[in-house]
Amino acid sequence: MKRKIIFLIIGLALILSACKSKDGDGGPKSILPERSYPQYEYSMVMTRCSRSETEMMCKNFGEDDAVSLNNMLSAKGLEGWELVNVLTVSEKKGPVHTFIFKRMP
């Protein structure tokens, strides 16, 4: 009985080693397809937003003029940017919103 199990194990090991595919350099080759992930450009816009009577107005850091949130997002979209995430941090002067965008280069 033990002899049959040993022969079975050896036979399976031989079968499995014969079934391995090899690369051109002789090394083992993965049977899974290779994946390539797209490379993106990222852009961040830091703003301090406040609600006006009709819409949300945001003032970008480093700029003096406030723009509406809708206009800012539309302008980035026209440039090919896609909104990925919004991070908000509370400060004494009010919350700071960081809009994170990505696009294909």
In a domain, 86, yes or no: yes
Report the C-alpha gap between 42 and 65 in whole angstroms.
24
Question: What is the domain count for the chain?
Answer: 1
For position 14, what pLDDT does the model report?
66
Please give the backbone phi and psi of residue 65, each rounded to the nearest 5 degrees, phi first: -90, 140
- Could you tell me the mean pLDDT of each successive run of 10 residues in the chain, 105 residues long? 72 66 60 82 93 89 89 95 95 92 93
Report the C-alpha gap between 79 and 82 in whole angstroms.
9
- Pair 83, 74: CB distance under 8 Å: no
In a domain, 47, yes or no: yes
Tokens for 23, please give them.
């690369």
In a domain, 8, yes or no: no
In a domain, 35, yes or no: no
- Pair 45, 101: CB distance under 8 Å: yes
In a domain, 33, yes or no: no
In a domain, 16, yes or no: no
